[in-house]
């Protein structure tokens, strides 16, 4: 009975970890797609293209919110901080834009983007930081699927096993 409970717990942990990894991968893919869409329309690096997309009044408000603001928050663009602050109207719940996303940018998304940029949270623009005590270093996973590649790289760096 105890063994069965342990196996169930391990299975649930694996399932939860796989779910989180899947969500992270999906968000990463959407960020890449949004950057690509912005760069196809505006020249420059990803931040400049996304900022240009946000500032262009010819783009639909919903797209400016979802494509530009959300992505700028995900990549934690410090360059976009002053522009996002200009758009923000101190409405963290987004109650002023509820049902009006076709006519104004979402204040809730701006609030989340500002928080992500200002606090830098635990996710870095280049990947997720994972502290690995066995290596006495932290790993930046780029992209999340490269875990085994990064571990192999660190093992070679430390001449592990030689």
- What pLDDT was estimated at residue 21? 82
How far, in Å, CA of 115 to CA of 135, rounded? Answer: 32
> Quick check: 107 and 67 in contact, CB under 8 A?
no
Mean pLDDT of 114-131: 59
> Quick check: 80 and 50 in contact, CB under 8 A?
yes
* 158 or 90, which is more confident: 90
Among 68, 72, 45, 47, residue whose Cα is nearest residue 57: 68
User: Helix (H, G, I), strand (E, B), or coil: what is residue 96?
Assistant: helix
pLDDT band at 27 (very low <50, low <70, confident <90, very high): confident
* 137 or 35, which is more confident: 35
Listed in order, strand segments (DSSP E) in the chain are 123-124, 127-132, 137-141
In the predicted structure, residue 37 carries a pLDDT above the cut 50: yes
- What pLDDT was estimated at residue 103? 67
Q: Which two tokens stand for residue 44?
A: 């420059």
How does pLDDT run across 123-148, given as a tens digit for each residue?
Answer: 444 454 444 444 444 444 444 444 44
Q: Which two tokens stand for residue 41?
A: 């329309």
Residue with tokens 């262009």: 56
Percent of the chain at pLDDT above 90? 20
In the predicted structure, residue 38 carries a pLDDT above the cut 90: yes
How does pLDDT run across 64-102, given as a tens digit for each residue?
Answer: 888 899 999 888 888 999 999 998 888 777 777 777 667
How far, in Å, CA of 65 to CA of 106, rounded? Answer: 6
Among 86, 77, 26, residue whose Cα is nearest residue 49: 77
How far, in Å, CA of 56 to CA of 44, rounded? Answer: 15
pTM attached to this predicted model = 0.65
Q: What are the boundaries of each domain within the chain?
A: 20-121, 127-157
How far, in Å, CA of 36 to CA of 113, rounded? Answer: 19
């Amino acid at each position: 009975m105890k063994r069965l409970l342990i196996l169930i717990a391990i299975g649930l942990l694996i399932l939860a970890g796989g779910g989180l990894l899947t969500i992270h991968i999906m968000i990463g893919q959407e960020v890449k797609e949004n950057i690509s869409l912005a760069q196809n329309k505006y020249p420059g690096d990803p931040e400049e293209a996304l900022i240009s997309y946000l500032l262009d009044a010819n783009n639909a408000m919903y797209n400016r919110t979802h494509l530009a603001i959300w992505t700028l928050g995900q990549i934690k663009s410090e360059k976009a901080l002053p522009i996002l602050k200009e758009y923000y109207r101190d409405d963290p719940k987004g109650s002023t834009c509820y049902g009006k996303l076709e006519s104004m940018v979402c204040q809730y998304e701006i609030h989340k983007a500002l928080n992500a940029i200002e606090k830098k949270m635990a996710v870095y623009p280049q990947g997720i930081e994972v502290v690995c005590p066995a290596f006495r270093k932290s790993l930046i996973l780029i992209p999340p699927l490269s875990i085994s590649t990064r571990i192999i790289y660190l093992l070679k760096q430390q001449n592990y096993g030689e």
